[in-house]
Amino acid sequence: DAKTTQPPSMDCAEGRAANLPCNHSTISGNEYVYWYRQIHSQGPQYIIHGLKNNETNEMASLIITEDRKSSTLILPHATLRDTAVYYCIVRVASRGGNEKLTFGTGTRLTIIP
């Protein structure tokens, strides 16, 4: 899996949009970008994933640059419950290939009341 680079920590005011960046400059054409988060003392939780188009679901939006070398996870209206460590992962998408998820150090997001 390609390596990712994320800032170690970020703060965001409650109610504002939280924008979490991720660099994945060595991503391959068949690798997806995944985001997970881990709230204290819980197992990681899937958020969203994408290949090259922007994606949106009930939790977040994922913006991937045209060259796919970086992406941004957007939490549109952050709440205190969004305080967590956010992991950006790139992963081969081919069926039958190794689907191992390799977690980096992530970004510790703190939502400020």
Which residues is 11 bridged to in the sheet?
A: 110
Burial of residue 66 (CB within 10 Å: 0-12, 13-18, 19+) is: exposed
Smaller CB distance to other proteins: residue 59 or 63?
59
Determine if 100 is a binding residue for other proteins (CB under 8 A).
yes
Size of the site for other proteins (CB under 8 A): 26
Determine if 45 is a binding residue for other proteins (CB under 8 A).
yes
Please identify which residue in 82, 106, 109, 111 interacts with other proteins, judged by CB under 8 A. Answer: 106
The tokens describing 57, both together, are 């679901």
Provide the 10 A C-beta neighbour count for residue 25.
12
Please identify which residue in 103, 109, 110, 113 interacts with other proteins, judged by CB under 8 A. Answer: 103
Angle, vertex CA 22, rays to CA 43 and CA 9, nearest 5: 65
Tell me which residues touch other proteins (CB under 8 A). Answer: 32, 34, 38, 42-46, 49, 87, 91-106
